[in-house]
Amino acid sequence: MAIGFTLTPEQIQRRDQARAFAQAHLAPLVERVRETADPFEAALLVKPAHEAAVKAGLIKGMIPEFCGGTMGSGIDAAIVTEELAAVMPDFVASLGGVLLALTPVYFGGTPEQMQRFLVPFLADDGAPQAVMALSEPAGTANFAAPAPAEGIRTTAVPDGDEWVISGDKQWSANLGGWDGTGPEFMTVVARTPGGVSLIGVEKAHFTADNLEVLETIDMPGLRGHLTQTIRLKGVRVPKANLIGEEGQGPDLAYLAFTASSAAVGVMATGTMRAAFDIAFRFAKEQTRGGGVPIIAHRPVADLLSEAKGRIEATRLLSWRALDAVASGDGAGLELALHAKVFGSETAVDVIHKLIQVVGVQSYNKAFPLIHHLLNAIAYPIFEGGNISVRRRQLQGILSAEGWDPLSASGLA
Ligand SMILES: Cc1cc2nc3c(=O)[nH]c(=O)nc-3n(C[C@H](O)[C@H](O)[C@H](O)COP(=O)(O)OP(=O)(O)OC[C@H]3O[C@@H](n4cnc5c(N)ncnc54)[C@H](O)[C@@H]3O)c2cc1C
């Protein structure tokens, strides 16, 4: 990594475009999504923003150039992610779902699969959805655990030239597609005779008989993100849809969850930044019956300045992590894990402190601050829970023979 902390003119342009996109297409939706009681209807309100994102090249921008996309550097991705997350992190979580599903194709797919699977995502219109269907209702943290543990329960049984996939999947964005007929592409994590494997399912393979939407989950935050439980009932796909080798599923899935790990740190930065703006404005403008704006009280100013410092720290760590992952730097995984764990837990804590700056007014749902906490609470427990998955991965890195604490900084 060339060390430099100044955005290039192109990056400033990218930031301005992302900021304008967020203001034009996301900001007008935030309150409506929040106030729509039905979770399916709330998430559907965001569909036009997905269409606009495709037109603006945001989906193509998540596909590497060698696959026909326009993906830039990790810093470029971080700039756009933070701008969108500062307005609507639900939307970022949905776009992240696309990235999760397609990453195994970039790194484990054949040239033929890359062409076939990526076609809908290289188009300039529509609102195509790609889903990484890993999580299951009965538990996911131990999906790759060897017998006698149960691990992943969804199965893909060979039958002639086909795989027959059955099982329940939960949590991934857009599992049922916009209308229950399935997404354009699903990367299914399933147990095959050779181990835990990834299989690509295209929309044409879903029918009314083999895909059932069991529920739309009513989440407390991120309500613009369509989150469902589905049942796959004997979905048949060609054997040629196996991504990578049989048994390579965990490696490819972890690879996909590395980029998303860094991206959660960036989401956390965007969410904290938006919450800070609210608390800061309140502290500058409100006297609460005293003679001076409350920022003049030292404990209030201390909370605000501490929050600001932690936002800056999270941004630097997360941008560096995403840059390292995207450029193939060996430090990428370790930094991405820290960005996820540190960023997500810092976000929850910082927003909790900002709520104390505002005080009791923040406990009215009509005041926007509490909603940022409801979003941020998801960050430590999604994209691989910090307790169940991410800290376990960090333990593996730290306890590996020869690990050097300076290596992730390039100082070893
Ligand atoms: C908004 C949102 C979007 C999501 N998007 C996707 C997606 O696109 N694709 C997808 O597949 N999933 C997605 N998920 C699910 C998400 O990735 C979860 O992190 C994942 O399902 C694992 O959840 P869990 O850690 O709670 O696992 P669980 O298996 O449910 O574990 C529950 C708890 O048990 C404990 N535990 C279990 N095993 C261990 C262990 N070995 N060591 C230590 N503690 C353990 C931990 O305390 C853990 O919190 C999404 C979730 C949300 C909320």
Tens digits of residue pLDDT in 9-29: 999 999 999 999 999 999 999
Q: Which domain holds residue 44?
A: 9-121
- Tell me if 263 is assigned to some domain: yes
Residues 175 and 112 in one domain: no
Query: In which element (H, E) is residue 356 found?
Result: helix 332-358
Q: What is the mean pLDDT of residues 98-119?
A: 95
Of 87, 121, 155, the last residue of a domain is: 121
In this prediction, residue 62 carries a pLDDT of 85
Burial 84-123 (b: 16+ CB within 10 A, else e): bbbbbbbbbbbbbbbbbbbbbbbebbeeebbebbbebbbe
Q: Are 90 and 33 in contact (CB under 8 A)?
A: yes
Q: Distance, CA 261 to ligand 1 centroid (Å)?
A: 13
Of 193, 221, 245, the last residue of a domain is: 245
In tens, the pLDDT along 285-317 reads: 999 999 999 999 999 999 999 999 999 999 999
Q: What is the mean pLDDT of residues 381-402?
A: 97
Eight-state DSSP code of residue 405:
T
Give residue 5's pLDDT band: very low, low, confident or very high (50, 70, 90). Answer: confident
In this structure, which amino acid lies at residue 233? K
Give residue 2's pLDDT band: very low, low, confident or very high (50, 70, 90). Answer: low
Give the total number of structural domains in the chain: 3
Q: What's the CATH code of the domain at 262? A: 1.20.140.10
Q: What is the mean pLDDT of residues 69-73?
A: 90
Hey, whose CA ends up nearest to atom 35 of ligand 1?
Answer: 388
Of 195, 227, 245, the last residue of a domain is: 245
Q: Distance, CA 134 to ligand 1 centroid (Å)?
A: 10
Q: What's the CATH code of the domain at 179? A: 2.40.110.10
Q: Are 255 and 370 in contact (CB under 8 A)?
A: no
**How many angstroms separate the Cα of 230 from the Cα of each of 351, 352, 395?**
33, 34, 33
In this structure, which amino acid lies at residue 401? E
CA 304 to chain CA centroid, Å, is 27
Q: Distance, CA 376 to ligand 1 centroid (Å)?
A: 15
- Tell me if 368 is assigned to some domain: yes
Could you tell which of 261, 337, 383, 391 is best to mutate to test the pocket of ligand 1, judged by most ligand atoms within 8 Å of the CB?
A: 383
Could you tell which of 171, 223, 225, 232 is best to mutate to test the pocket of ligand 1, judged by most ligand atoms within 8 Å of the CB?
A: 171
The residue behind tokens 């596909």 is: 63
The residue behind tokens 């926007």 is: 368
Terminus-to-terminus CA distance in the chain, angstroms? 15
Alpha helices (H) in 109-209, listed in sequence order:
111-118
Q: pTM for the complete prediction?
A: 0.96
Q: What is the largest CA-CA distance in the chain?
A: 80
Measured from CB, residues less than 6 Å from any atom of ligand 1 are: 93, 97, 100, 132, 134-135, 139-142, 171-173, 222, 225, 227, 378, 381-385, 387-389, 392
| Strands, E assignment, 153-226 | 155-159, 162-173, 185-192, 195-202, 211-216
